[in-house]
Amino acid sequence: MTTLIISADAATRTHLRAVLARCSDIDTVSEADSAEPPLVGDPHTVILADVSDETKGVPGTLRGIRARYPRASILALGSYCDSRFAVRALHAGANAYVLRERSSEDLAGALRAVDSGRVYVSPGIAGIAAGD
């Protein structure tokens, strides 16, 4: 699986690349500070989009990424442990919502899930949504 990391924060991109480097089945093809660069790699690329500091709104950002890369799976990395944010991200085109604070633990499993066509939500949020 190939990934494109999108984050406005260079330190976040470096951290995410380091986390993914530990996974033999995940290649980071490219990284960018916005969704504007062309999609690289095969059409099954997974896009890891850091939406935790979005100023124009997470749904708009994710809809833009989905429109630009319709075949890609999109994993939204957010900072809010609230099921409403996860639901908004999924409705806006993301295939997964992972909490930024849990990215080291959840990221590889989430990427594998969306690459195989499944939806993924961080366990803490899934528990809130289920009423646990």
What are the pLDDT digits (tens) for 42-91?
555 799 998 886 655 778 888 888 888 888 899 999 887 778 888 889 99
pLDDT of the residue at 118: 95
* Cα(124)–Cα(92) distance, integer angstroms: 21
- List residues bridging with 47 in a β-sheet: 4, 74
pLDDT of the residue at 74: 94
- List residues bridging with 27 in a β-sheet: 2
Mean pLDDT across the stretch 13-39?
A: 81
Mean pLDDT across the stretch 105-132?
A: 79
Question: Residue 84's CB: how many other CB atoms inside 10 A?
Answer: 11
Domains of the chain: 2-130 (3.40.50.2300)
pLDDT of the residue at 26: 87
Here the tokens at position 56 are 């124009």
pLDDT of the residue at 37: 59
Host H or E run for residue 65: helix 58-68
Q: How far is residue 13 from each of residues 82, 94, 116, 128, measured CA to CA in Å? A: 24, 19, 23, 28
